[in-house]
Structure 1
Amino acid sequence: IQVGKKSYLDKVEIKPKDFIHILETSNEKLSTSQPAPAFFKEIYDKAAQRYKSIISLHISEKLSGTIQSARMGCKDMEYSNKIHIVDSKTSSVALGLLVMETAQLIRKGFDLDEIIERVKLAIKNTRIFIAVPTLKYMIRSGRLNKTKGLLATLLNLKPILTINSDGNIVEAAKVIGQKRVIKKALDLAIKYAKNVKNPRFGITHVVAPELAQWYGYKIRNIFNSSKIIIAEASPALSVHIGIGGAAIAVLGDS
């Protein structure tokens, strides 16, 4: 996370609640950038000494240079053949669902090749829908052109964003007003979940716990899903979607 000229490792050197304070009070430019390769080298060195293989799942390559840093970090390592770097083609709580799916496959005793194959299939069956209540943070972080953002703000247009199969952020829908953007994100998530088997859900929010709980309540009523992950958004997402933003991720079986 970049705050002016200072940088912080997401959830390591800066916690969500501390970043929210910065988001609300700082006039500094806020943005994101990938960790250095040396960071990954240190992590991989420690893990390689304890485990036979490492599966390293990352935010979409189209959204961040993080996976490139990971590849560079393990390039000349003695244990580089033990490290399997996977592009999740998604982000945030959707990536969290994929990590949990990977851990479950490991616990079930699948061999490495089958785990990676199943994870890549799970990636294809994962979607995220992001409700953006205000565009000012996307303009501030540089994710949205200032002129386009100001025009949309004047028209009270609110986007629902998703990440497509290539790993790019695209607009799933656009509505007028904050109440409609909240409902539309839920509608899109439910529609997708109804078209997959055994849907699993993850919800994340930026200082909007009531909204996250409401999403969870609505989803449980339709799918009888007892396990829904609800988590605070990391600063890496908060910096773009801002306070009041939320996202619903769905992972299904083919």
Structure 2
Amino acid sequence: MEKKPLAWVVDSTAFITDELKNHPDVYVIPLNIHFGDQQYQDGIDLTPEELYQKIETAEEFPKTSQPAAGEFAKVFESISERYDAAIAVHLTAKLSGTLASSMAGAEMTDFPVHFVDSNSLSVGITRLVERGMELAETGKSPEEIAETLKTYTSNFRNYILIGELDQLYKGGRMSGVQFFLGSMLKIKPIVQITPEGELQAIDKVRSEKKAMQYLVDRISESYQNDGISKVYLMHGGSQDKADELQASLKEQVPSLEVVTGDISSTLGVHAGRGTVAALWFVEKD
């Protein structure tokens, strides 16, 4: 059987669109979510809505973990029979050991895998894969595609309104002082994945209404300054908030294409129900 030229491997923190879900060359490796001794695979046996329901009743706060290197090795061994090479795109290495685990898994095989640290998560991974597929159609080699995607990560823009401060704190993504002040003052923090892939608070707003308008204003500014044509509004079990944000955005920027979707269960552990994020790429030369 003649091998296909290229497979794509992503982790489950990516926004898995219907196109990616049904694409024959895309392989999604799930992260793990732990409630005490019980382990679930993200997107396979624990949906985002089930996660939020379990958090409300669970005695212990859930933890997340990356797939073991051996899990990646199994996938790479399997696809080596059908492909010449693979490109693996993973969530930022600054927030997870998933990329390192994937690289370790590849070292257990003889299969050529080219790695891309997305320096992001969710749509940041998704758009890199879509862009990579576009490049593959032009005849570029896997090495050339991977190198181009590493540069493309700098085009990522994101603003995230955290739904549950206590989950961000319990998950180790927020200092005790930040949590105390935010809780006491009812501040809505706006956080961001930096171009280096780190999570940082960039602003704080006094009400959710103002925070939602903050997101609309940032998107509108990028539309005016960068000519963006598409934005993703991702949410944590809050379709109503995403719809509200979309309606406000359409009033301000009617021609902008807007896509809404859920963040993965793994991301939901840290961000919580009620999170809303605006994510997009600036298409620079």
TM-score, normalization by structure 1: 0.89
**How many Å separate the matches in 1 of 2:125 and 2:59?**
30
Q: Structure 2 CA distance, aligned partners of 1:97 and 1:220?
A: 22
Residue 143 (str. 1) matches residue 134 (str. 2):
no
Q: Relative to structure 2, which stretch is displaced further, 213-222 or 70-79?
A: 213-222
Structure 1 position 75, deviation (Å): 0.7
Alpha carbons of 1:193 and 1:112: their partners in 2 closer, same or farther (altered >3 Å)? farther
SS at 1:19 equivalent: helix
- Which one is further off, 58-67 or 125-134? 125-134
Name the counterpart of 1:27: 59
Over residues 109-148 of structure 1, what are the superposed CA-to-partner deviations in whole Å (9 max), with x where a residue is unaligned?
4332332233123211012211114312212323223453
Report the more deviating stretch, 214-223 or 143-152: 214-223
Deviation at 1:230, TM superposition (A): 1.8
Structure 2 matches for 1:205-220, cutoff 5 A?
Answer: 205-220=235-250
* CA distance in structure 2 between the aligned counterparts of 1:145 and 1:67, rounded to whole angstroms: 25
Equivalent residue for 1:7, pick from 39, 46, 53: 39
Which residue does 1:224 correspond to in 2? 255
Contact 1:162 1:172 in 2 (8 A): yes
Identity %: 26
CA distance in 2, matches of 1:120, 1:211: 32
Aligned residues: 251
Deviation at 1:182, TM superposition (A): 2.1
- Aligned pair 1:45/2:73, yes or no? no
User: Measured at CA, do residues 39 and 189 of structure 1 come closer, stay the same or move farther in structure 2, by a change above 3 Å?
Assistant: farther
Match of 1:18 in 2: 50
Instruction: Give 1:28-177 correspondences, 5 Å limit.
Output: 28-79=60-111, 82-177=112-207
Which residue of structure 2 aligns with residue 236 of structure 1? Answer: 266
CA distance in 1 between counterparts of 2:40 and 2:123 reads 20
Cα displacement (A) at 1:197:
4.3
Uncovered stretches (5+) of structure 2, i.e. residues with no partner: 1-32
1:73-131 per-position Cα deviation (integer Å, ceiling 9, x unaligned) = 0113121xx21011000112222222222233334543323322331232110122111
Q: Aligned-residue CA RMSD in angstroms?
A: 2.1
Comparing 108-117 and 151-160, the one that deviates more: 108-117
